[in-house]
């Protein structure tokens, strides 16, 4: 390696560590808040109980500690791979693999596909223990995981197969376009990726998502009628409403819409709907069974009172004590009955008013435009750097494979730009959230949206407090208290 080659690699690794240390510092600040905040904020004391607040705090502490160790491992892994030539080693292994089938270096696209597949398989295997721990220890400990071990692995394999079935043809065509596109290949490559983005957005919900989840039409009723009226009132071209069984994986909730032009569809997670959440059905069944048992016991006691002669009298003091205990138990009973998971119909409408606000205010189109402008600029920079052998030398390559150039430039050389862009998009997203909340407020759903946000915070064990610097850098959605204050303001 020449000095300038070493400088490039060292600069990349140094920047990656600067970003990691910055992220670790922000996480430390947020972690200090988790540990010091022991009381429910005054603004939430009437709607957020101490028990839920404490559960959320402990959940976030566990997630933060897990994130620290997994992030540290990932950082060392990346550093070692770059420093000891893991990428050129994998490229060489891919070359030797295709040689077994009589294919030489001239079959670059084939070797590139093997390279990508090997990289994905390596990443999947290495991250598997972390994924297992996150799902079956942390999420299980806090009551969110609904997966069995068999379902977990089946889901992983299915996702990997589908992802590779989609990604490998795209990679092959992209490399081909870059090789035959001439001086303006970056425009053709961008147009190709733009088309792929639109295609995936179109077919994902109809053909890909159903491979993993069951989508059921929302039954006729008050909620469906209300959603249709809401959509019509803002000229949202709604065609179908689905409920997806997200509860088979987790009790986290969500809602979204998709589709182009006059073919919009709304998807609601079953965990979002109070009347659909399986957890509520299980709870109702248990309470019903408990009521039956209690009734049976009462009948038995009454029978015993008739058949058995009372030979001893209870003293006045003992009777008074028993009555006091019964009174205390009856007072505690309502507290022991936990509220149902999910939102009421009115709260669901408020959440959808917020989501449809993103559509009405063209947030989706704006994000699409920003994303495509970013992609075009990235391809332009790639076109100016892809022939610089010094970049390939810095990462241990003697040749200039297109897929390697894409990896080096997009993932490492452009990492400072990517970090800046990510921060700007996060900031913009927070602005969009406030605007969508304001839209729901104009539709007279402010109170219901406030209630829904609090319930979703409780159901997902989100912590209502956030360090200002941590939230500024990370949160694509404003903290709960900021949203509640904005919704509560009078014009």
Q: Kindly list the strands in the beta sheet with 264-269, ordered across the sheet, starting from the edge strand earlier in the chain.
A: 215-217, 238-244, 264-269, 255-258
The Cα–Cα gap between 382 and 387 comes to 9
* 474 annotated to bind ligand: no
Q: Which of 345, 347, 437, 457 is catalytic?
A: 437
| CB-CB neighbours of 443 under 10 Å | 20
Is residue 355 annotated as part of the catalytic site, yes or no? yes
C-alpha dist (Å) from residue 264 to 30, 206, 218, 349, 441: 39, 12, 15, 17, 23
The Cα–Cα gap between 247 and 214 comes to 11
Q: Which of 23, 228, 355, 393 is catalytic?
A: 355
* 252 annotated to bind ligand: no
What is the rounded end-to-end Cα distance, in angstroms, of the chain? Answer: 65
Is residue 49 annotated as part of the catalytic site, yes or no? no
The Cα–Cα gap between 355 and 430 comes to 14
What is the length of the chain?
Answer: 491
| Cβ partners under 8 Å of residue 270, min gap 6 | 243, 244, 245, 246, 247, 276, 277, 278
| Cβ partners under 8 Å of residue 475, min gap 6 | 426, 430, 466
* 444 annotated to bind ligand: no
Axis crossing angle, helix 222-233 with helix 345-360, rounded to the nearest 10: 30
Active site residues: 355, 437
Annotated binding site for Zn(2+): 354, 358, 433
Q: Which residues are annotated as a binding site?
A: 354, 358, 433
């Amino acid at each position: 390696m020449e000095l300038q080659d070493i400088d490039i690699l060292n600069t990349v690794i140094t920047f990656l560590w600067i970003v990691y240390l910055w992220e670790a510092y922000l996480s430390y600040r947020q972690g200090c808040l988790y540990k010091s905040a022991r009381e429910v904020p005054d603004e939430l004391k009437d709607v957020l109980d101490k028990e839920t607040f404490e559960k959320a705090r402990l959940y976030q502490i566990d997630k933060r500690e897990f994130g620290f160790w997994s992030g540290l491992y990932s950082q060392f892994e990346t550093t070692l791979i770059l420093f000891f030539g893991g990428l050129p080693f994998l490229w060489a292994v891919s070359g030797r693999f295709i040689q077994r089938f009589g294919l030489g270096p001239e079959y670059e696209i084939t070797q590139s596909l093997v390279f990508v597949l090997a990289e994905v398989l390596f990443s999947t295997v290495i991250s598997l223990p972390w994924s297992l721990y996150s799902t079956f220890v942390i999420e299980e400990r806090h009551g969110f995981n609904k997966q069995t071990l068999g379902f977990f692995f089946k889901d992983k394999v299915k996702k990997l197969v589908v992802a590779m079935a989609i990604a490998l043809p795209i990679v092959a065509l992209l490399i081909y376009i870059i090789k035959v596109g001439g001086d303006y290949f970056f425009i053709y490559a961008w147009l190709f990726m733009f088309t792929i983005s639109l295609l995936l957005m179109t077919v994902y919900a109809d053909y890909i998502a159903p491979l993993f989840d069951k989508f059921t039409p929302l039954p006729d009723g008050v909620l469906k009628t209300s959603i249709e009226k809401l959509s019509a009132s803002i000229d949202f071209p709604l065609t179908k409403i689905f409920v997806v069984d997200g509860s088979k994986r987790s009790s986290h909730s969500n809602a979204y819409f998709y589709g182009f032009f006059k073919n919009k569809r709304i998807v609601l997670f079953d965990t979002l709907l109070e009347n659909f959440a399986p957890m509520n059905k299980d709870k109702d069944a248990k309470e019903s069974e408990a009521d039956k048992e209690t009734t049976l016991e009462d009948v038995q006691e009454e029978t015993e009172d008739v058949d058995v002669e009372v030979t001893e009298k209870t003293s006045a003091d003992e009777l008074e004590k028993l009555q006091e205990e019964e009174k205390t138990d009856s007072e505690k009973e309502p507290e022991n009955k936990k509220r149902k998971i999910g939102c009421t119909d009115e709260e669901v409408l408020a959440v959808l008013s917020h989501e449809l606000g993103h559509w009405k205010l063209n947030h989706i189109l704006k994000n699409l435009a920003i994303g495509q402008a970013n992609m075009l600029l990235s391809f332009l920079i790639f076109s100016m750097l892809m022939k610089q052998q010094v970049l390939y030398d810095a990462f241990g390559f003697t040749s200039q494979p297109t897929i390697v150039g894409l990896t080096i430039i997009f993932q490492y050389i452009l990492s400072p730009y990517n970090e800046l862009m990510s921060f700007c998009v996060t900031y913009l997203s927070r602005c969009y959230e406030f605007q969508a909340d304001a839209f729901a407020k104009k539709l007279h759903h402010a109170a219901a949206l406030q209630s829904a946000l609090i319930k979703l915070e409780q159901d997902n064990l989100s912590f209502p407090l956030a360090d200002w610097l941590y939230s500024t850098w990370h949160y694509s959605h404003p903290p709960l208290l900021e949203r509640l204050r904005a919704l509560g303001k009078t014009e």
